[in-house]
Chains A and B, each alone.
Chain A
Amino acid sequence: MSHFAIEAKQLTKKYGRQTVVNKVNLHVKKGRIYGLLGRNGAGKTTIMKMILGLIPITSGKVAVFGQNIEGQEKRIYPRIGAIIETPGFYPNLTGTENLQIFAKLRGTAAPNAVKKALEVVGLPYKDKKLFSAYSLGMKQRLGIANAILHDPELLILDEPTNGLDPIGIAEVREFIKKLSVEHGKTILISSHILSEISLLADDIGIIDNGVLLEESSMSELEKRNSKYILLQVSDVPKTILTLERQFHVKDYSVQDEHTLRIYDTSLDMGEINKTLILQDITVISSGLCNDTLEDYFKKITGGEGIA
């Protein structure tokens, strides 16, 4: 059994002469949150629609749970929950009534499914308010409730925090995280906000102009993101003594027998190297790791960055 919930190979979408999604290889691992990051119009929604089989694929392949979705809809759709763009609900019914219709259509995994789904997103059960009177934030929440109504394994959420206020965004982020951490769900989420994705995702894919520029785990990115001087020396205790006495370095940590990290990056490495060598300490290597996430995104998207 493959450990990918979604695997896309060379996925391409063309509208006429225009290529909207260009040879995307996407790997969403089971039980993790995958953040698809890109500016508006980068191709995020198109990719999600192709994964769900809502629009035809020009070329390439997508496997969901290791299967081709075409012809298997009846077996695969019940295992997915999705919001793509604005979800469609009946304006003249209440939120609860709307969900009850979907529960009847799709079936449920447990009794009281509607009540539980509303609880998760923080909407009242059997409230009298009609959907047409809902605020944008409430509509968005109802959309998410609908996506989790049948307790699916895989959630595909296209900009789920659009239209929410900052507190709402934090709440939605919190329960998406909870769905993954406490319930083991796989989640594919798209956003154009770097800080959003970096707070939530385990893995991240950066898309720009239909091309997937980078696919990597968040911890890998964070490693590249921290600022420190990496110093490999023959004698760690002696080096520390020199650093403390002569350079007044306090903020450092020992990685292993020969490796030190110094978190004060303003130090003059040339001077330090010279002093160490004069004391018969062999400096195997010394280097500055200094790259913020923002800088990194700017670099790979060609300078403009994603905000």
Chain B
Amino acid sequence: MDINSYLLVGLVFALAVIFYLVLKLYRVREQISFIKDALEDLKRGNLNRRVLAQENDMTKQICYDINEIAISSQTQLIHQKQSEQAYKRLITSLSHDVKTPLASLVGYLEAIESNIVTGKEKDEYLHVAYEKSQHLKHFVENLFEWVKLDSGEQAFHFENTDLNELTRNIIADWVPVLESSNFEYEFTIPETEYTVRIDINAYTRILNNLLQNTITHSEGSKMTLQIVESRQKAKIVIADNGKGISSDNLPHIFERLYQCDHSRSAKGNGLGLAIAKELVAVHKGTITADSTPGKGTEFIISLPKAL
């Protein structure tokens, strides 16, 4: 009797274990069938497919690993596609940006060539054609500079320089330009020496682009440049009192070929700020813009003291 009851308990226990194992097996089989489905889908190129796992599934780690592989291939693929698209956009807008001034230039030159215009008018036509060709030249130069920067082919020469002195020298060249463009100006640069490690040409280019941008686009009457220095970094703030940039446009102004007014008229080429941004990044610095429409815009460059 005793043995029998032991046997019975044993049997019940064994059945319970078998039942549990069958359930478990069923769950694992189901999981494997899900995994198979997902792998099939992934193989066909749907990298967004995920396999879901519950907390105490035996297959949990396998599922998580499959997902991780899918996510990383997906990210790679998306990056690749994005740069392809950016390249395509560049080529399309480029073809318009070169074609338009070129067609206009040809128009003027044809008129001169076929003697439609004479005398004073001819001289004026020549002058316009010259201006247009200069603009086109600048555009193409800027574009090559940008492409060189973007592909990382530009070589830099970093040296320890007094930022305050260098900045003073750069803006000295701008004073006559500011005066002839009817801009009031105010520079606040510390008298002390502040040594930073920068590429002098690149820094000059950054300031030139920003100052040119202010003169061409701000429609303001006053420009200020201020340098604020701390132990770790220097902040260069260039502000104007012009028309400002709307909040729709503001996030995009550093993108290549972005132009706020969407006009294709002769002003600017949409590359100046993109180049400035790339060059600031080379110095491990940041450039940001802040603007209140109608009141003016402020560009803030922040450069670390040591690279």
Contact B103 A109 (CB under 8 A): no
A251 to B111, CA, bound (A): 21
Contact A184 B55 (CB under 8 A): no
Chain A 105-121 near chain B by CB (<8 Å), digits 1 or 0: 01111110000000000
Residues in A with CB closer than 8 Å to B68 are: 110
Residues in B with CB closer than 8 Å to A202 are: none
Given known A-B contacts A75-B37, A184-B78, A253-B100, A153 and B49 have beta carbons under 8 A apart: yes
Chain B CB within 8 A of A241 CB: yes
Which one of A1, A252, A254, A263 has the greatest number of beta carbons of chain B within 10 Å? A254
Chain A CB within 8 A of B46 CB: yes
Chain A 246-263 near chain B by CB (<8 Å), digits 1 or 0: 000011111100000001
Residues in A with CB closer than 8 Å to B96 are: 253-255
Contact partner of A150 among B52, B102, B111, CB < 8 A? B52
Interface size on B, as a range, is 35 or more
Contact A241 B104 (CB under 8 A): yes
Contact A250 B99 (CB under 8 A): no
Contact partner of A109 among B44, B64, B263, CB < 8 A? B64
Given known A-B contacts A79-B49, A153-B46, A241 and B111 have beta carbons under 8 A apart: yes
Contact A104 B55 (CB under 8 A): yes
A101 to B126, CA, bound (A): 77
Given known A-B contacts A244-B104, A253-B100, A253-B264, A109 and B54 have beta carbons under 8 A apart: no
Residues in B with CB closer than 8 Å to A1 are: 44-46
Chain A CB within 8 A of B140 CB: no
Chain B CB within 8 A of A236 CB: yes
Chain B CB within 8 A of A41 CB: no
Residues in A with CB closer than 8 Å to B35 are: none
Contact A110 B263 (CB under 8 A): no
Contact partner of B100 among A104, A107, A254, CB < 8 A? A254
Return B221 CB to nearest CB of chain A, in Å.
23
Chain A CB within 8 A of B106 CB: yes
Residues in A with CB closer than 8 Å to B49 are: 79, 153
Given known A-B contacts A104-B55, A254-B103, A241 and B48 have beta carbons under 8 A apart: no
Contact A237 B107 (CB under 8 A): yes
Given known A-B contacts A237-B106, A250-B263, A253-B100, A151 and B37 have beta carbons under 8 A apart: no
Contact partner of A250 among B50, B77, B111, B266, CB < 8 A? B266
Interface residue total, chain A, C-beta cutoff 8 A = 36
Residues in B with CB closer than 8 Å to A110 are: 64, 67-68
Residues in A with CB closer than 8 Å to B50 are: 78-79, 109, 150-153
A143 to B51, CA, bound (A): 22
Return B256 CB to nearest CB of chain A, in Å.
17
Residues in A with CB closer than 8 Å to B77 are: 184
Contact partner of A236 among B37, B52, B55, B103, CB < 8 A? B103
Contact B51 A240 (CB under 8 A): no
Contacts of A69-122 to chain B: CB distance below 8 A: 75, 78-79, 104, 106-111
Contact B52 A107 (CB under 8 A): yes
Return A301 CB to nearest CB of chain B, in Å.
26
Contacts of B17-53 to chain A: CB distance below 8 A: 34, 37, 44-53
Return A61 CB to nearest CB of chain B, in Å.
22
Chain B CB within 8 A of A13 CB: no
A108 to B45, CA, bound (A): 21
Chain A CB within 8 A of B146 CB: no
Residues in B with CB closer than 8 Å to A109 are: 50-53, 63-64, 67
Chain B CB within 8 A of A185 CB: yes
Chain A CB within 8 A of B74 CB: yes
Contact A241 B54 (CB under 8 A): no
Chain B CB within 8 A of A129 CB: no
Given known A-B contacts A111-B64, A241-B104, A184 and B110 have beta carbons under 8 A apart: no
Return B34 CB to nearest CB of chain A, in Å.
8
Chain A CB within 8 A of B115 CB: no
Residues in A with CB closer than 8 Å to B108 are: 241
Contact partner of B52 among A78, A181, A237, A250, CB < 8 A? A78
Residues in B with CB closer than 8 Å to A31 are: 48
Residues in B with CB closer than 8 Å to A108 are: 52-53
Contact A104 B266 (CB under 8 A): no
Chain A CB within 8 A of B265 CB: yes
Given known A-B contacts A104-B54, A109-B52, A152-B50, A240 and B107 have beta carbons under 8 A apart: yes
Residues in B with CB closer than 8 Å to A244 are: 104, 107
Return B116 CB to nearest CB of chain A, in Å.
9
A181 to B82, CA, bound (A): 9
Given known A-B contacts A250-B265, A252-B100, A184 and B107 have beta carbons under 8 A apart: no
Interface residues of chain A, those whose CB is within 8 Å of chain B, are 1, 31, 75, 78-79, 104, 106-111, 150-153, 181-186, 236-241, 244, 250-255, 263
Known: A107-B52, A109-B64. 8 other contacts (CB 8 A): A1-B46, A109-B50, A109-B67, A237-B104, A237-B110, A238-B110, A240-B107, A244-B104
Interface residues of chain B, those whose CB is within 8 Å of chain A, are 34, 37, 44-55, 57, 63-64, 67-68, 74-75, 77-78, 82, 96, 99-100, 102-108, 110-111, 262-266
The 7 closest A-B pairs by CB, nearest first: A107-B52, A241-B107, A237-B107, A237-B106, A109-B50, A153-B48, A250-B265
26 contacts between A and B (CB under 8 A): A75-B34, A79-B50, A107-B54, A108-B52, A109-B50, A109-B51, A109-B63, A110-B67, A150-B52, A181-B78, A183-B74, A183-B78, A184-B47, A186-B48, A237-B103, A237-B105, A237-B106, A241-B110, A241-B111, A250-B263, A250-B266, A251-B264, A253-B96, A253-B264, A254-B99, A263-B262
